[in-house]
Amino acid sequence: MNRWRVMFIVLSLCVSAFAQGRAYTPKPGTAERKAIMDALRAPVEKELKKRVVFKANHLKVQDGWAFLGGVPQQPGGKAMDYRGTPYQEAIRSGAFDDNIFALLRIEGGKWKVVTYVIGATDVPYIGWDEQYKAPSAIFE
């Protein structure tokens, strides 16, 4: 192997190792992004008793952790109808913002929901990095 090829391989490995420790956003359509969304979808659909998809305004992954900030929607992208859900009264009283914030962790090769909040009128994830020992870069 020539010297330049060896240097290229070493440089590529260094860049790859450096990138693995940084927060990143899985691209739409990737298996990783789908697995994260599917893991979150299960408890949210159970709570709302409705089918749901997520519009991700913020999704970052690092070191086996994922943080999502977005909006729950009906399949097809329509606004979620919260009638008949635990959030109906909060909406009526004006104490509800149409959002979701979720923290997930990969365990045994599968994404698991650590915690999530729907309809927060404040910033519920402040302190999640310390509370759950998650990397702070995923919240930025």
Domain boundaries, the chain: 23-139
Q: What are 1-22's pLDDT values in tens digits?
A: 555 443 333 333 333 334 458 9
Instruction: Tell me the per-residue pLDDT of 18-57, one tens digit each, with 9 for 90 and over.
Output: 445 899 999 999 999 999 999 999 999 999 999 999 999 9
DSSP label of 27: P
CATH number assigned to the domain covering 23-139: 3.10.450.630
Supply the pTM of this predicted model: 0.84
The pLDDT, as a whole number, for residue 43 is: 98
Q: Is 68 left (phi over 0), alpha (psi -120 to 50) or beta?
A: beta
User: Could you report the per-residue pLDDT of 85-125, keeping only the tens digit for each?
Assistant: 999 999 999 999 999 999 999 999 999 999 999 999 999 99
The predicted structure's pLDDT at residue 21: 85
H/E/C letters for each residue in 3-19? HHHHHHHHHHHHHHHHH
